Structure 1
């Protein structure tokens, strides 16, 4: 007697994680990170400082999370670790800086949070640059 399974085709986990890493990293880098680097002085006057660290520290933290970390994630290098600053910055933005935003107003931030928490939980997959250790 032959049994049929619903998973006759194996899931494309590695290409899926690669796609998620590349697209999530590019979105965050292009929409948030790159403008902060290109317009650093102007961003210093606009950056929120919810914990009183000062605009320079806040902006440098945002640049780490929105420029350096997405590059690491796209390459698949220190992927889970690189997700942590992004998740922290997104949580601060959504819960401390913009707590009054509706789901519709904050949907991009919440979607980025979903993407990077998923990557942090799943890791980079096999399509990545090898660093000698685990993800």
Structure 2
């Protein structure tokens, strides 16, 4: 039960702070899905999005992790469902984008994966807040 509390329990200290965390969580999830997730469903110039593979993983695994991080994780994040666990793959993808894929790019290009990584690390530290399915599930246990 201690590990479940560690993973699910989250309280930003006041109703206002928890509402702010809810808004932050939902807006971050929406933007991640809108900007990156929808690319996984669209064809541009008749071709699917090219997903960089800097770790040289099998292409199917690389595409699966990237697609999961940009399409499924935002749903979990918006709902506050298993927030801390769910965002781990996306933290990995954005951090690799910052440290590996864009390491030689200008700060303007590196800024996007950096900001996503920071926001997701904040969510990892804070969890979903009291207005989340994590809190609801915890009250049922």
Shorter-chain TM-score bucket reads 0.7 to 0.9
The one of 86, 98, 103 equivalent to 1:99 is: 103
Q: How does 1:15-94 map to 2 (within 5 A)?
A: 15-39=19-43, 42-43=48-49, 46-94=50-98
- Give the deviation of 1:23 after TM superposition: 0.8
- Give the deviation of 1:108 after TM superposition: 1.8
Question: What is the root-mean-square deviation in Å for CA atoms of aligned residues?
Answer: 2.0
Residue deviations 1:76-124, cap 9 Å, x none? 0000111111110001111111111232222122111111111110011
Greater share of helix: 2
Report the count of equivalent residues.
123
- Contact 1:36/1:63, CA 8 A, preserved across alignment: yes
Residue deviations 1:54-83, cap 9 Å, x none? 332211110111111110010000001111
What SS does the corresponding residue of 1:38 show, helix, strand or coil?
coil
Work out which of the two has the higher radius of gyration on C-alpha atoms and give 1 or 2.
1
Give structure 2 stretches of 5+ with no counterpart.
1-13
1:14 aligns with 2:18: yes
Q: Residue 117 of structure 2 corresponds to which residue in structure 1?
A: 113
Q: Residue 133 of structure 1 corresponds to which residue in structure 2?
A: 138
Give structure 1 stretches of 5+ with no counterpart.
1-9
